[in-house]
Amino acid sequence: MRTATITRQTKETSISVTVNLDGTGKTSISTGIGFFDHMLDQLGRHSLIDLTVKADGDLHIDDHHTVEDTGIAIGQALRKALGEMRGIVRYADVRLPMDETLTQVAVDLSGRAFLVFRTQFSTPKIGTFDTQLVREFFQAFAMNAGMTLHIETAYGVNDHHIAESCFKGVARALRAAATIDPRQSDQVPSTKGTLSV
């Protein structure tokens, strides 16, 4: 079973995350941030990763700590659930349309953390959600999952669609990259023989 639970406790946040990489996309999300909950629900649903997130943070200050720390915890859970990454496809990419928006995402579950984020928003907020936090989430997620993650929005007008296309695109690419390839189910997909370093 490729599952993991991570609990993260700081003076700013208290977060518990459980993932099942071989799930059906079932989610239970509660961060206290409505739009962020919606995005995490998309992440689980479209990746087919069962995702449970319970986060309590210092929202009286702002949403930043909760979003970033949730990204850290989900990334750590993903990394733990992948284990040696034996048998995974490893690489995947997707071009995801959402109405007028088109976002391209590429993933390498390499054990090496890197983020390229080429997406711009025209407004500082989606409802009450700070659009800068989309990048902050993916930065924390990629660094702690040990993945190389490229996200680029080619065009788009509606900021809700732009953000959602990023989360859905990452989900779809992650779904493909984390899938077990039956032709190499007992092999680590690297000439090094390891993806842990």
Q: Mutual orientation of helices 34-47 and 132-145 as an angle, nearest 10°?
A: 40
* Spatial distance between the Cα atoms of 104 and 166, rounded to a whole number of angstroms: 8
Length of the chain equals: 197
119-165 pLDDT per residue, tens: 999 999 999 999 999 999 999 999 999 999 999 999 999 999 999 99
Q: Which CATH architecture has domain 3-184?
A: 2-Layer Sandwich (3.30)
pLDDT averaged over every residue in the chain: 94
Residue 196 has pLDDT above 70, yes or no: no
Q: Is-above-0.75 flag for pTM?
A: yes
Domain ranges of the chain: 3-184
Q: Nearest CA to 183 among 86, 55, 66, 53?
A: 86
Residue 191: the pLDDT is 47
Residue 186: the pLDDT is 77
